[in-house]
């Protein structure tokens, strides 16, 4: 079976059949990508937080350099869609179209390794501990400001079950 993803459209085709379109809406920040082989269970992306979450603005805060979530996401140096750094969804929540998001305050060393991960907004109590553990395994390209610089960011992370 081949799958093609395009913004707002999922096509499924079995051998000898015509593709059947099925509509769905991607939330802001999710990017559709072509996939070959078994269906990808989830898509992970930078989320757009709701108004109930106030993100720390970029700049110096209590001796820590805060950068925007977009800048932190661009420094991400691991595959967050699969492997040990992927966010997992337990079977109880694995329903097509389910969208969850949470916000983490992430501080990263000059070497690109998370030094602290604090949850600011929960996605669901069934995923909170696993997601925090996965995010602690994420690695980042060092932030360059004359030299490698440690940074923090309030990172909204969204996940859609496909």
What is the pTM assigned to this prediction?
0.69
What's the mean pLDDT in 145-154? 91
pLDDT digits (tens, 9 = 90+) for 90-146: 888 888 788 889 999 999 999 999 999 999 999 999 999 999 999 999 999 999 888
Q: Rounded distance, CA 18 to CA 15, Å?
A: 8
Quick one: which H or E segment has residue 11? strand 9-13
Q: For 82, list phi and psi in degrees, rounded to 5.
A: -150, 170
Which residue segments constitute the domains of the chain, with CATH numbers given? 39-161 (3.30.1150)
The sign of the dihedral angle between the CA atoms of 95, 96, 97, 102 is positive
State the pLDDT at residue 2. 40
State the pLDDT at residue 28. 58
pLDDT digits (tens, 9 = 90+) for 28-84: 555 544 434 343 467 788 787 777 778 888 999 888 899 999 999 999 999 888 888
What's the mean pLDDT in 143-150? 89
State the pLDDT at residue 41. 61
State the pLDDT at residue 113. 96
State the pLDDT at residue 95. 80
Q: Rounded distance, CA 155 to CA 116, Å?
A: 12
Q: Rounded distance, CA 154 to CA 158, Å?
A: 13
């Amino acid at each position: 079976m081949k799958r093609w993803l395009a913004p707002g459209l999922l096509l499924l085709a079995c051998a000898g059949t015509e593709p059947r379109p099925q509509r769905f809406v991607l939330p802001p920040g999710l990017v559709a990508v072509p996939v070959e082989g078994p269906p990808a269970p989830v898509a992970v992306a930078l989320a757009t937080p709701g108004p109930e979450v106030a993100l720390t603005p970029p700049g110096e805060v209590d001796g820590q350099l805060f950068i925007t979530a977009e800048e932190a996401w661009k420094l991400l140096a691991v595959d967050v869609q699969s492997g040990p750094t992927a966010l997992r969804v337990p079977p109880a929540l694995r329903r097509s179209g389910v969208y969850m998001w949470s916000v983490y305050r992430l501080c990263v060393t000059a070497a690109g390794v998370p030094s602290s991960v604090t949850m600011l907004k929960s996605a669901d109590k069934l995923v909170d501990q696993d997601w925090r553990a996965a995010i602690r395994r994420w690695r980042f390209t060092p932030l360059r400001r004359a030299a490698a610089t440690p940074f923090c960011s309030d990172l909204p992370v969204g996940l859609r079950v496909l």
